[in-house]
Structure formats: structure tokens, C-alpha cells
Amino acid sequence: MIRPDPDGRDVVELCDVCGLLVAEDEAYLSVVADSSATATEGGELMDGERLLTACSWEHLEYLVLAYEQRPFVWEELWAAKMLDALRQYGPRLTTVQLAAASGLTPAQLDHARTWHTHHRLLPTAPEQEDGQNRAS
């Protein structure tokens, strides 16, 4: 998004590392694979890809290296697409409707639901002195 900064220059975005306002002609940009990224606006063009913005080559290199270390997990992308479709079209859809709304197959939706169920941020049971979880 381009907007004027306090000095009247056009700003592309904030640096993804330090938060510095970056003028359009000074931005360093890259696209990396990221299974947590979905394009909720503008269609499927950027699903699984993240646009990075940095104020310097060093910050861009840092970001690219960080994303290269992160595994691309298809089920994570499918879960994000499933949730995007549920937010957009309502929480009560059949599998067929959800497949059409998300662009996923029923098998992908099944994998997405399983992934989402196992990776939601749930509180973990505290460990006992013997190293076992109390809920086990």
C-alpha cells in the first residue's frame, strides 16, 4: 500500500525486520515460499507466497534466510485457505460447498482439518517431576 510519510515521500510499507518506513524508491523486495500465507484479497495469485519488504539488503537477506529455514507444509496452506473460505462464506458449509469456496478437494480439506486440529494453539499440560504430562 502506498501512502505519504511525514516527509511527503511515497511509502511502500514498513520494513519487516525493524519497522522503518521505506520510501518506494528505496525498498528491497522479495517473494518467498510460505505455507502460512494466503491471498485473501486478489485471488489465489499469492497463496503460499509472502511478499517481503526491507529497508536494506542486509534486512532482506535476513528475512529470506529465515523463510528458507521454515518448512513449507501443504496442510498448513490448505488449513488457511479453508479458514479464509469459512470466514468469507459463513461457518456452516457442507464439504462440497467448502471445497468450492476454498478451491480445495475434499481430501485436501480432510488433511487441512486434521492439521488445524493438531496445530491450534492449545494449552499444554504441565509436566510432572518425572517428565510426564499430567494429562497423559
Asked whether 86 and 48 are in contact (CB, 8 A), the reply is no
d(CA 131, CA 114): 27
Q: Rounded to an integer, what distance in angstroms lies between the CA atom of residue 77 and that of residue 59?
A: 26
pLDDT of residue 136: 43
Q: List strand residue ranges (DSSP E) for the chain, in order.
A: 3-4, 10-14, 21-23, 28-33, 49-54
What is the predicted pLDDT for the residue at 47? 85
pLDDT in tens, the chain (136 residues): 555 556 666 666 899 999 999 888 899 999 999 998 887 655 556 789 999 999 999 999 999 999 999 999 999 999 999 998 999 998 899 999 999 999 999 999 999 999 999 887 555 555 556 555 444 4
- pLDDT given at position 8: 66
pLDDT of residue 125: 55
pTM above 0.75, yes or no: no
Cα distances (Å, whole numbers) of residue 100 to 9, 82, 94: 43, 10, 10
The answer to whether 69 and 82 have CB atoms below 8 angstroms apart is no
Query: What's the rounded Cα separation, in Å, for the pair 109 and 45?
Result: 20
| Cα gap 57→127, rounded to integer Å | 44
pLDDT of res. 99: 95
Per-domain residue ranges of the chain:
3-69, 74-119
